[in-house]
């Protein structure tokens, strides 16, 4: 066994929140992807840390600061999006977010000129080049390292709720995949991606990372690309479950749900209560069911194998978390999850647009662009 890695967990204020939102750059006329991220980032320079590069030149990422409330984080994202628009509109480029672009061809996309991305593509080859996907990541501050792994394990019991609500990648390369979130299953093809191991002790995590570093699987901890992972550098738990969300309303709704769950589990630990867990085989099945069926998924809710329609489970959870949302100042954002329940997740809205337009997927892109501008589902 290799020498365990030393993972110092940064000090972080409890239940602070930060959001990362990946945006696709699409042609205003054709709806296809445009490789103009370098132009945008060069214009921004070092002046705006809220606008960052990503793996592909068709993508920029906007990030919030470390915020007390989801509303503050949403305002940060809104400002960053406005700044990106100032630079993309003269190029006749629109912004769009979804788990995948409905018809773009992965083989035509260019990779950002950075050594870590070149290394990734060289190692992962066909699967790495397929990573034409977009997500939303939510960081929540945890004040005590001892809480990180229990809360991370507990989040796996609500994994399917978040994945179903955010599912927005039904199309791939111009075809309907039959999945609500094709992104979820594609991304886990990368080494170290997918569901996390359910470690009990921090020392187990350090031993794992030590082994991965020793054998050359990773060069740094951030190459562990789990759907839920500790972020020692920031002192947070990072939820990387959600597909790219088309609207700021959905981004903040999903962030509020994540924020409330972490705080809820943290409070249970404070009271000496055991946190909910689910066996790894059920967690794996729930991920597949929510990726395949989205809002129609029948999910496994506990170790006994009880099952429930995911939308019913979400509705129950919203009631349970309402007092937590009041405490965190995100009651309005959490309540917006009900808009997703009512209007449908993005994959459902995208398919409805495709049906209305005889399967034409440029109409789906146009609808995603329109929703992004409106800031809410249309």
pLDDT tier at 45, thresholds 50, 70, 90: confident
Estimate to the nearest angstrom the gap between the alpha carbon of 377 and the chain centroid: 18
In this structure, of 127-136, 280-289, 321-330, the range with the lowest mean pLDDT score is: 127-136
Say which residues have a Cβ less than 8 Å from residue 138's Cβ, sequence separation at least 6: 17, 18, 19, 20, 238, 239, 242, 254, 255, 258, 259
Contact 162, 268 (CB under 8 A): no
- Provide the pairing of β-strand 193-194 with 171-172: unpaired
pLDDT tier at 107, thresholds 50, 70, 90: confident
What whole-number distance in Å separates Cα of residue 16 and Cα of residue 37?
A: 30
Buried b (16+ CB within 10 A) or exposed e, 316-337: ebbeebeebbeebebbebbebb
Does 113 score more than 80 pLDDT?
A: no
What whole-number distance in Å separates Cα of residue 283 and Cα of residue 150?
A: 15
CA distances from 200 to 37, 147, 284, 324 (A): 41, 11, 18, 26
What pLDDT is stored for residue 319 in this prediction? 98
Mean pLDDT of 201-230: 96
What whole-number distance in Å separates Cα of residue 86 and Cα of residue 94?
A: 11
What pLDDT is stored for residue 106 in this prediction? 73
What whole-number distance in Å separates Cα of residue 187 and Cα of residue 229?
A: 15
Residue 298's beta-bridge partner residues? Answer: 309
Phi and psi for 2 in degrees, rounded to 5? -75, 165
Does 52 score more than 80 pLDDT?
A: yes
Mean pLDDT of 262-287: 98
């Amino acid at each position: 066994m290799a020498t365990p890695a030393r993972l110092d967990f940064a000090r972080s204020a409890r239940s602070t929140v930060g959001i990362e939102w990946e945006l696709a750059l699409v042609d205003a006329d054709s709806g296809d992807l445009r490789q103009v991220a370098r132009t945008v980032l060069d214009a921004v320079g070092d002046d705006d840390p809220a606008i960052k590069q990503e793996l592909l030149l068709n993508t920029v990422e906007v990030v919030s600061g470390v915020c007390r409330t989801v509303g503050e984080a949403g305002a940060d994202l809104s400002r960053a999006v406005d700044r990106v628009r100032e630079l993309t509109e003269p190029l006749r480029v629109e912004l769009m977010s979804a788990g995948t672009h409905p018809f773009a061809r992965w083989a035509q996309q260019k990779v950002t000129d950075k050594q870590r991305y070149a290394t990734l593509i060289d190692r992962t080859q066909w699967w790495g080049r397929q990573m034409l996907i977009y997500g939303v990541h939510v960081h929540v501050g945890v004040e005590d390292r001892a809480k990180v792994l229990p809360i991370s394990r507990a989040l796996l019991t609500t994994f399917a709720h978040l994945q179903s609500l955010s599912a927005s990648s039904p199309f791939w390369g111009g075809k309907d995949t039959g999945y609500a979130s094709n992104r979820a299953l594609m991304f886990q093809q990368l080494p170290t991606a997918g569901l996390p191991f359910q470690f009990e002790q921090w020392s187990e995590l350090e031993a794992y990372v030590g082994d991965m570093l020793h054998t050359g699987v990773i060069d740094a901890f951030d190459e562990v690309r789990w759907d839920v992972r500790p972020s020692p550098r920031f002192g947070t738990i990072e939820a990387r479950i959600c597909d790219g969300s088309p609207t700021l309303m959905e981004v903040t709704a999903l962030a509020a749900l994540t924020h409330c769950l972490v705080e809820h589990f943290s409070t249970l630990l404070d009271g000496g209560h055991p946190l909910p867990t689910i066996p790894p085989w059920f967690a794996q099945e729930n991920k597949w069911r929510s990726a395949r069926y989205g809002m129609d998924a029948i999910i496994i809710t506990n170790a006994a194998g009880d099952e429930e329609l995911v939308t019913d489970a979400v509705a129950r959870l919203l009631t349970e978390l309402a007092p937590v949302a009041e405490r965190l100042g995100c009651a309005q954002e959490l309540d917006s999850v009900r808009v997703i329940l009512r209007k449908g997740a993005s994959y459902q809205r995208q398919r409805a647009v495709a049906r209305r337009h005889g399967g034409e997927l440029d109409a789906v892109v146009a609808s995603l662009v329109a929703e992004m501008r409106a800031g809410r589902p249309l």
